[in-house]
Structure formats: structure tokens, C-alpha cells
Structure 1
């Protein structure tokens, strides 16, 4: 069995209050021969100082990336890394001490695995012991929660793809697709997403495998600002924008996107009214409907001014999406 090396990468932007714990969780890994890279993505807080305090450990490296954007930072981390496997941990997450070992084992045992990610639990902010009444279990997954059970399983449905906060790829696969798409992934305060879903679609289409690894456990800190309805509405809007772009790069751009978005908008509004007396279901469907407005607005912008070169010419059925 060929030996593989692994690099852990934290891409960070103005999260100095959480970053130290994330780095420390990587320094405490049971796997010995690892590389840890912190990519400082144009931070203006104390990020550099937080990393500096730990640079006496030879496993840790610091890289500054001035171009703002998560995908840009991830690509910089990948280019810097020496490992065969790239394991990405969010700057506000904490990895269990066997996180890297569990991920590496999957790649060692199966050369066809391109992507693997683990279970994610939530760490509520001080004074909060449970989610608010208006927050459904499905919406809570938007905070990073991810649990497909206690057994390793193949991911064949892209909507079940591993969370980006606990995420790994085989470097040869990432290189073969040209890295992360710079048009997807968070940039500053916007909440663009879907880069992992898109990557899973590409991997499966090319004959690779995507895995869920429950032992690769990480916990995600829920910032107090994310327990406000406005954050979920904003996230849903950007989710709609992201989904529109993902369809376009899959070759699905066109007037039919307006029909899809319109149908989903009507369904979301209908269910918002239907569950008027059930706070969690009502708000979940309201955010769903609001996300369709983001989707439709993005479609209209594309139709008014399409790109000079379409990203793809091959048709591909869009991922199904439905309200609760």
C-alpha cells in the first residue's frame, strides 16, 4: 500500500477569537507526520499575532493571501501544501484529535476516493443551551451540523456532500479540476456557497468516490450573530445566487431557470402560510422562498448580460430542491 502524506489547512478571515482553538486542535492530532498551514485571507484583526504565538511548532506554517475569498484562500493553501491529501478545517471549528488519522485512513484504503468529510456537531455560544423555537432541524444544518450516522458511507447524492468546515480532497483530483471555482465560496461578508456540492458533482461524473467518515469528527462554533433570523435570510439569498451559478457552470443556464425558481418561490410562499402556526416550519419555508428571490434575481442578471463564453455546453439536469 502506497504511503500518503496529509496537510491540514485553515483558511481564515477576521476570526481571531476562534482561530487559536482551531490551530491548537490540529497541533494535538494523534497523527504524527503532518503539515499545518494557516492561510490568512486579508485579515485586519489579530490573526497574524494568534498564529505567531504558535509558530515555534515546526509543523505550523503561515501564509498571507491578499485576494479576498474562501476559494482563493483554499487554492493558495493547496498550492502551498506538500501533502497528497488536503484537509480543510474552518477557522471557527475544533477538530477531534483523531480527525486527520481518520481521514487519511480512508484515502489509504481506497485510491478512488477524491473527497471525504466527517461528522460535525455544534458548539452553542455561552448562555445558549438549545436552538431557538423558530429554528428547524433542517435550518440548523446551515450552521454546519452534519451527521449521516455512525457508519462510513459513499455519497452519491451531491446534496449530502460533506460540509466545507470539515472537508478533504485528494490533491491530484483538485489539480485535475483546476482548483476551487473562484465564483463560488464566501467572499468577505457575502455568503456564496455550493463549492463543495459542485466539486462532488464533478468527482462523481469523473468516476471518483466521495465519502462520509463519522470518526473524522469536528465541532463548529455557532457565533451569536448566526442565531438571528436575518442571518438565515441572508444565507438563503446567497444560497439561491450560488445555486444559479452552479447550474450555469453545469450547462443549465437559460430562461427555464426562471420557471424553476418561480415554481419553488410559489411553493415556499404557500408553505409559509400553511405553517403559520408552527414557528420553525414557517420560518424555514420563509427563508426558502426568500432564497428563490436571490436565485431569480441572479437568473435575470445572467439573461440580461450573459458571459461572453458559457462555462459549459453540455446539458445537465439541475439538482432537485424542495421546501420543507
Structure 2
């Protein structure tokens, strides 16, 4: 299958048909319609197919069923099915701003990135608890410099708002399938492992801070327990794909002790501020502690 377009928007979904409709509506409202849409249904048993069919007349869209459960399997199926030279991944619980595709195409034309990403902002469809900070639901704080630029070694693209040269994905074998989200199982790390590989292959990673989406922050994620679980799982995959040795573990452990100590001190100090609640202190302290603890417990020596 071929296409006269250069961009396919890939949406991987698992039983979130009601949210998928908002996502597809945001693509209908794009200022530029020069793109294909590919919905990868990862064993959905809700009405996802009906939602996709309802957009057939207004989007260049098709659905593909990926039976191997896991977000990485779905993402890999997406770029392999795409008929364009570039693919953009958009989360199924996100809404692209109206100039999203236009910004993608202009970035492709003007820069030599192998992959680039943008900013996600919080979308409080179900409401917002008083202590939850907008910064918790956004990656904006990591990209304080505005505009388009190449990322440094410690910066990475968010998976839910990311654009890749399709050949770059093919040459790197795509997303690793032994980590990452799997059905209702919370896991992370697959995007970072892939992007490290792209850098090893000599490709540039970029950011365009005008590439914006609104990403759902449901009430179930506005709980201290969610943050703890999230950072536990991030810690478990921290060493994945990295060359390690006992010296690195020692340095990392010392760094963790210092980081957690300073976090406790500053969190207690910030409790005197009106806009900082005990939940914020728990999030900052427990999340960091669990990240370092799980990273240390799941360390394996790799050369």
C-alpha cells in the first residue's frame, strides 16, 4: 500500500473508545488535512471499531488489529503498516491542538531530525483535586527553552506526542517489546531505549515546543498512590539497555541518598507555603525514594 502523503498519525488504543472519539475529533479539526490516520486496536473488545468507522467520511483513516498485547507491539505494528515516510504517535487519551499537523510538517521540512516531539499539557476532563499541580501532568518543565532545537543527552521525547522518520524506526527494530505498557499493566521505558538507539545510529532528536497536545489526567492518576506506583515502575526499568558496572551502581546509590535527603528537606520547608499540601510533599518524597530504591533493587551488571 502506498500513499501520496508523507505523514501517518498512529493512535494505539486499548478499550478507550469514548476517549478515542475526542482524539479523532481533534484530528478532524486540524488546519492541515494532508495526513493519514492509522488506529491500532490492541485487542479491544469495546466499540472501538464503530468509533473508527464513524470517521471514515471525514478522515483518511483505517483500523488494524494487533493481537500481541502491549503498547510496543501496537506501536511497532503501526509504523510497519504505515505507507508514509514519517509517522506521528498520538495517545488515544489526548487531543491535538489545531495546528499540530501543520507544525509537524513544517518541522520535517525545515530540520534534519530523525525524531522529534512536543509538549503535552494536562486535560482535566473529570475534574481536578486541589493539591494536584499542572506540572505533574505536563512535560513542559523539562523544556524551558522555547522553539525548535536538538535535545541534549539527558532529554527525551514523550511517547504520546512524538514524530519519527519511519526508516529510522525500521533500522532500529522499533520499540522494545519486553518493557512498556501492557493492557492494564503499568510500565515505562520503551521510548527512551529506542531513542538511545536512534542516537547511537547517528540521528538527531529534537523538540518543538509549539507541537502541543492536551493529555488526559483522570482522577485515578490524581492520587499519591499512583505517583508511587508510577515511579516504582520507572525505577524497575531504569537500567534497561544500559551498559552497567558496580562503579555506576555505587555512584547512583550515593546520588539517590543525596537526592532523597535534599527532597525531604525542601518538601518540609515548602509545607509552609499556601499552595503546597501534604500530598505534594508525599508525592515528591515517596516518588523519588521509590524510584531510587527500585532502580537499585533491579540493578543488573551489563557490559
TM-score for the superposition, normalised by structure 2: 0.86
Aligned equivalents of 2:226, 2:11: Cα separation in 1 = 23
Residue segments in structure 2 that go unaligned for 5+ positions in a row: 272-277
Measure how far apart 1:124 and its partner are.
Answer: 1.5
Q: What residue in structure 1 maps to residue 71 of structure 2?
A: 70
Contact 2:116 2:162 in 1 (8 A): yes
Q: Does 1:235 align with 2:230?
A: yes
Aligned equivalents of 1:244, 1:137: Cα separation in 2 = 29
Aligned equivalents of 1:152, 1:119: Cα separation in 2 = 12
Q: Does 1:155 align with 2:151?
A: yes
CA displacement 1:249-285 (0-9 Å, x = unmatched): 2322x44454345334433542454233533345312
My pick for the range that moved more, 63-72 or 29-38, is 29-38
Q: What residue in structure 2 maps to residue 114 of structure 1?
A: 114
CA displacement 1:108-142 (0-9 Å, x = unmatched): 223x31111122211123442xx643x5666x1xx
Alignment of 1:277-288 (within 5 A): 278=271, 279=278, 280-288=280-288
Q: What residue in structure 1 maps to residue 205 of structure 2?
A: 210
Alignment: residue pair count = 289
Alignment of 1:244-283 (within 5 A): 244-245=239-240, 249-252=241-244, 254-256=245-247, 258-271=249-262, 273-274=264-265, 275-276=267-268, 278=271, 279=278, 280-283=280-283
Q: What residue in structure 2 maps to residue 43 of structure 1?
A: 44
TM-score for the superposition, normalised by structure 1: 0.80
Alignment of 1:72-221 (within 5 A): 72-110=73-111, 112-128=112-128, 132-133=130-131, 135=132, 140=136, 143-146=137-140, 148=143, 149-159=145-155, 161-221=156-216
Alignment of 1:300-319 (within 5 A): 302=300, 313=303
Alignment of 1:1-40 (within 5 A): 5-40=6-41
Aligned equivalents of 1:72, 1:242: Cα separation in 2 = 18
3-state DSSP of counterpart to 1:18? helix
Residue segments in structure 1 that go unaligned for 5+ positions in a row: 304-309, 314-324
1:222 to 190, 214, 217: 217
Contact 1:8 1:26 in 2 (8 A): no
Contact 1:125 1:221 in 2 (8 A): yes
Measure how far apart 1:16 and its partner are.
Answer: 2.0
Measure how far apart 1:35 and its partner are.
Answer: 0.8
